[in-house]
């Protein structure tokens, strides 16, 4: 029987492989749900629960107190719209809260673990070419690695996040490369949902105070409509501001982190929104693949 090395024996005796999440050094907890779906949360964040409870209770109160008045008049079409927007807003909210924002795993053994509490000095500077421009890579002394372009270390989650935008306390997660689309869709769907609620509450209040009102004298419903309207307007103003700001960021190809820190005051090396749009509309055969059957003339 051939002799097995100690390393081979350790592999065979180690059992199942250790998952990355089991040795994750950031401030995250991992939970496996049904159908083997794994979600991640930043430790100690209570803001998402406030957002979730407000979204659920606010819409339920609207459906119970305000919506029956319009359901009969619109043959339940208004109810279908509200419920559809509500479910979609909940879906994208959960995705932005519980999904990976684009975290880069750090080294398994850091310099501080080997040599004490002192941080490792950054190595020689490294550069990459982005959109024809020379861009210097930043070095993260916490994760001990060179960060790809537009990557930053999030203090709240203690991890480097690709295309770091900001940390949002209302979703309890960092907004980055992989969950920015869910975050922006949550803003859009929440905005449309609040528009529907505001219009419904205003129409219900007008119907109640109108001198021609018939069957609309329920004072409890009237008070509920005013209460819902006040909170809906407050949240609507906040969400509209966020939508406008992030639309501007997308149009100029920036992140919140880059905009606040004026990273591209001398020009964005990654291009602007109009440049990206023109490239998408005018680029033809960008990869320069050879014609069919001519595999020996690949042009790089």
Residue 125, pLDDT above cutoff 70? yes
Residue 282, pLDDT above cutoff 80? no
Active site (catalytic) residues: 168
d(CA 227, CA 66): 11
The CA dihedral of 215, 221, 226, 229, to the nearest 10 degrees, is -100
CB 135 within 8 A of CB 275: no
199 exposed, middle or buried (CB, 10 Å; 0-12, 13-18, 19+)? middle
Residue 65, pLDDT above cutoff 80? yes
Query: Is the pTM value of this prediction over 0.95?
Result: no
Task: Specify the length of the chain in residues.
Answer: 300
Q: Label each residue of 186-218 as H, E or C.
A: HHHHHHHHHHHHHHHHHHHHHHHHCCCCCCCCC
Q: What is the mean pLDDT of residues 195-215?
A: 80
pLDDT digits (tens, 9 = 90+) for 88-120: 999 999 999 999 899 988 766 544 444 445 455
Instruction: Report the pLDDT value the prediction gives residue 290, as an integer from 0 to 100.
Output: 40
Buried b (16+ CB within 10 A) or exposed e, 46-69: eebeebbeebeebbebbeebbbeb
How many other C-beta atoms are found inside a 10 Å radius of the C-beta of residue 110?
16
pLDDT digits (tens, 9 = 90+) for 217-272: 677 888 888 999 999 999 999 999 999 999 998 888 889 999 998 888 877 777 77
pLDDT bin (cut points 50, 70, 90) of residue 275 is low
Q: What is the mean pLDDT of residues 276-290?
A: 50
d(CA 223, CA 205): 9
- DSSP run (H or E) holding 185: helix 180-209
Residue 211, pLDDT above cutoff 90? no
């Amino acid at each position: 029987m051939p002799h097995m090395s100690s390393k081979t024996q350790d592999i065979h005796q180690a059992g199942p492989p250790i998952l990355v999440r089991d040795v994750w050094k950031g401030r995250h907890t991992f939970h496996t749900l049904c159908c083997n779906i794994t979600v991640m949360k930043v430790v100690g964040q209570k803001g998402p629960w406030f957002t979730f409870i407000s979204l659920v209770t606010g819409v339920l109160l609207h459906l119970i107190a305000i919506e029956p008045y319009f359901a009969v008049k619109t043959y339940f079409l208004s109810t279908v719209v509200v419920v559809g927007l509500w479910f979609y807003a909940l879906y994208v909210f959960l995705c932005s809260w519980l999904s990976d924002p684009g975290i880069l795993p750090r080294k398994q053994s850091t310099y501080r673990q080997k040599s004490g509490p002192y941080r490792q000095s950054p190595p020689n500077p490294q550069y990459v070419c982005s959109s024809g421009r020379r861009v210097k890579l930043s070095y993260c002394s916490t994760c001990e690695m060179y960060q790809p372009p537009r990557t930053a270390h999030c203090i709240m989650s203690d991890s480097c996040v690709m295309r770091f935008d900001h940390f949002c306390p209302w979703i309890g997660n960092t907004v980055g490369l992989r969950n920015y689309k869910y975050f922006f869709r949550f803003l859009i769907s929440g905005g449309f949902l609040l528009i529907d609620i505001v219009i419904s509450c205003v129409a219900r209040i007008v119907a109640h105070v109108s001198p021609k009102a018939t069957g609309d004298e329920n004072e409890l419903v009237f008070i509920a409509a005013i209460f819902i309207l006040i909170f809906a307007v407050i949240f609507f103003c906040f969400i509209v501001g966020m939508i406008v700001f992030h639309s501007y960021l997308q149009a100029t190809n920036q992140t919140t982190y880059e905009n606040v820190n004026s990273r591209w005051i001398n020009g964005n090396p990654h291009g602007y929104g109009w440049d990206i749009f023109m490239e998408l509309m005018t680029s033809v055969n960008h990869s320069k693949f050879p014609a069919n059957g001519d595999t020996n003339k690949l042009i790089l």
